[in-house]
Amino acid sequence: MPEERRGPVVIERAPGRPRSEDARLAVLHAVDDLLLEVGYAAMTMKGIAERAGVGRQTVYRWWPTKAHILIEACAADARGELAVTPSTEPARTVTDFLDALSRFLTDSPAGAAYRALLGEAQHDPAVRDLMAQEDLLAAPARVVLDSLRTQLAMVPLDDEMAVAELCGPLVLAALSGRRLKTDALAAHLVHAWA
């Protein structure tokens, strides 16, 4: 692979023409729009390319499937929407994160993409594997958990278990069309982890 030098870091670049940031952003916006307009099942790579105003070859060169595009489209939004500043009060930290997670899962276009991908993962092993590999909730949850581990003795050391305890109830509620009271869930978790 050709290399680009930027400062002291060497960045490997795929062969061929460099990826146009404008075209990439157009594709990411197109996939968001189409998800809301036609849904995941009706969305096609051809439709995404047409909506973005780029060639299908361009889309396929950068992403092998629509699931890959959707993951990339919602990953940055998820990191931003789920970022919270840890507090000296564990209950405040957990409540702030759960509030952000609830908004992400129920109100955000990125959350709609995440829910669509979770649904598709139930039928498509490739999407299931991609979702497991690119867990969008885990990184923001780990920031919260690392903060809590300095304040609460019983936060599970196994990150997968801790992320599941923190995020699982809200994900299940969102997929079931319900909303949980985040302050009550936060109080429960803080009490269990104290």
Instruction: Please tell me the predicted confidence (pLDDT) of residue 20.
Output: 87
pLDDT-derived band at 3 (thresholds 50, 70, 90) equals very low
Instruction: Out of 1.20.120.1200, 1.10.10.60, 1.10.1050.10, 1.10.540.10, select the CATH number for domain 18-63.
Output: 1.10.10.60
Closest Cα partner for 176 from 186, 168, 164, 184?
A: 168
Half-sphere exposure of 28 (CA within 13 A, CB side): 15
Mean pLDDT of 23-45: 93
CATH 1.10.10.60 domain locations along the chain: 18-63
Comparing 14-23, 83-92, 106-115, the range with the smallest average pLDDT is 14-23
- Dist. CA 83–CA 95, nearest whole Å: 12
pLDDT at 12: 45
Nearest to 23 by CA among 6, 43, 48, 4: 48
Q: How much is the pTM?
A: 0.82
Q: Please check whether residue 183 is in contact with residue 95, taking contact to mean a CB–CB distance below 8 angstroms.
A: yes
Architecture label for domain 74-193 = Orthogonal Bundle (1.10)
Please report the sign of the dihedral spanned by the C-alpha atoms of residue 188, residue 76, residue 110, residue 159. negative
Give the pLDDT confidence of 108-120 residue by residue, as tens digits. Answer: 989 999 999 999 9
Token couple for 179 = 């909303």
The H-or-E segment that residue 10 falls in is strand 9-12
CA-CA distance, 46 to 160, in Å (whole number)?
37
Two tokens at 122? 């139930």
pLDDT band for 76, please (50, 70, 90 cuts). Answer: confident
Query: Looking at residue 133, what DSSP letter applies?
Result: H
Write out the residue limits of the CATH 1.10.357.10 domain(s) in the chain: 74-193
Tokens of 119: 């649904």
Q: What is the three-class DSSP state of 4?
A: strand
